[in-house]
């Protein structure tokens, strides 16, 4: 991926963040409160788009994993690493927003109902895949093992989606345009495109970081001489409360959810930018990789 593509990634993320600001402003100050949920319903303007895009991101990891095993191209491993990490971020934010919404509506911060339980399993499974990639040094083994693990973990994605239909759940059924009032439709759609573009930019930038690190790992090591040879040789030896009725107030929960969303996305983008600059500096100092070593 060229520097031009990295700039496109920043552009996508920036435009997505702008749409997210517009949609959030619309949801907070323009859209009316819902009849029964009151102001708390405004949390859904960030929670639902996060859920939609999170499911897309988790699904994309499956596609990348299969593509790597079939095509055996390093680019797919870089996209896999990026998609897994961004999926974990979105999944964490989804659970955080859901907990904030659950307290005033269900009466509890968390309940082990089918939707929440299957989502928690999915999140922990993908955190485990990130840990696997962290602790396996060999690029080939890391790519193959994490691809297989991703395919297995992705089995839970349709379970998360259909859990509210298959089992008795506190969580409501999925909404669609026919079940959403026109007054609430615009902020949902604007934020959905905002989160989608933001996630796409983050995945593109994160894949660039993975690509730079992979080039450094596959580069031939500098020739060791004198004491370094000796040192290298020595080293080689060595409870649930349901809620019913109309919810009063709720602005504190709304602001908490929107603040958590903004801070989470902002901190992750800052971390991506920092890691990207670090990898660029390392790539500038590292020797060039062997011919064909990082072929697409």
pLDDT for the residue 170 = 66
DSSP 40: G
Are 157 and 62 in contact, with CB atoms under 8 Å apart?
yes
pLDDT at 246 over 60: no
pLDDT at 218 over 60: yes
Mean pLDDT of the chain: 83
pLDDT bin (cut points 50, 70, 90) of residue 292 is very low
Instruction: Give per-residue pLDDT as tens, 221-234.
Output: 665 544 544 444 44
Structure tokens at 180: 């959403």
Instruction: Give per-residue pLDDT as tens, 8-34.
Output: 999 999 999 999 999 999 989 988 887
pLDDT bin (cut points 50, 70, 90) of residue 293 is very low
**Nearest one of 126, 127, 285, 134 to 212, comparing CA atoms:** 285
Are 202 and 272 in contact, with CB atoms under 8 Å apart?
yes
CB atoms within 10 A of CB 62: 19
Structure tokens at 153: 């973990």
**Nearest one of 96, 94, 148 to 125, comparing CA atoms:** 148
| β partners of residue 34 | 38
pLDDT for the residue 243 = 44
pLDDT for the residue 179 = 63
**Nearest one of 127, 45, 46 to 89, comparing CA atoms:** 127
Q: For the chain, how are helix, strand and coil distributed in percent, rounded to 5? A: 75, 0, 25
Lowest-confidence segment of 34-43, 214-223, 276-285 by average pLDDT: 214-223
pLDDT for the residue 251 = 79
Rounded CA-CA distance 128/149 in Å is 9
Query: Can you tell me the mean pLDDT for 217-245?
Result: 51
Structure tokens at 162: 């259909």
What percentage of the chain exceeds 70 in pLDDT? 82
pLDDT at 216 over 50: yes
Are 194 and 261 in contact, with CB atoms under 8 Å apart?
no
pLDDT for the residue 10 = 92
What percentage of the chain exceeds 90 in pLDDT? 45
Instruction: Give per-residue pLDDT as tens, 60-103.
Output: 999 999 999 999 899 999 999 999 999 999 999 999 999 998 88
pLDDT for the residue 267 = 86
Q: Where are the domains of the chain?
A: 3-218+245-285
Instruction: Give per-residue pLDDT as tens, 128-137.
Output: 999 999 999 8
**pTM of the prediction?**
0.82
Instruction: Give per-residue pLDDT as tens, 144-185.
Output: 999 999 999 999 999 998 888 887 776 776 666 566 677 788
Rounded CA-CA distance 76/1 in Å is 12
pLDDT for the residue 239 = 43
């Amino acid at each position: 991926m060229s520097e031009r593509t990295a700039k496109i990634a920043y552009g996508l993320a920036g435009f997505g963040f702008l749409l997210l600001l517009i949609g959030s402003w619309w949801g907070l100050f323009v859209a009316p409160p819902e009849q029964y949920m009151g102001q708390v319903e405004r949390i859904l303007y960030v929670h639902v788009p996060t859920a939609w895009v999170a499911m897309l991101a988790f699904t994309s990891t499956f596609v990348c994993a299969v593509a790597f095993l079939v095509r055996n191209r390093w680019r797919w491993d870089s996209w896999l690493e990026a998609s897994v990490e961004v999926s974990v971020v979105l999944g964490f934010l989804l659970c955080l927003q859901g907990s904030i919404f659950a307290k005033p509506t269900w009466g509890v911060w968390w309940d082990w109902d089918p939707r929440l339980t299957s989502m928690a399993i999915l999140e922990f499974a993908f955190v485990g895949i990130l840990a696997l990639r962290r602790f396996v040094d060999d690029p080939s083994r890391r790519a193959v093992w994490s691809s297989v693990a991703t395919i297995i973990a992705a089995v839970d994605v349709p379970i998360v989606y259909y859990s509210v239909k298959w089992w008795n759940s506190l969580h409501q059924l999925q909404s669609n345009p026919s079940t959403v009032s026109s007054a609430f439709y615009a902020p949902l759609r604007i934020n959905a495109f905002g989160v989608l573009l933001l996630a796409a930019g983050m995945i593109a930038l994160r894949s660039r970081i993975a690509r730079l690190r992979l080039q450094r790992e596959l580069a031939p090591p500098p020739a060791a001489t004198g004491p370094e040879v000796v040192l290298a040789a020595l080293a080689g030896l060595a409870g649930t409360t349901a809620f019913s009725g109309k919810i009063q107030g709720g602005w504190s929960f709304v602001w908490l959810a929107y603040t958590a969303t903004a801070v989470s996305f902002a901190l992750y983008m800052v971390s991506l930018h920092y890691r990207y600059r670090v990898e660029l500096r390392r790539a500038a100092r590292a020797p060039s990789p062997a011919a064909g070593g990082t072929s697409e």
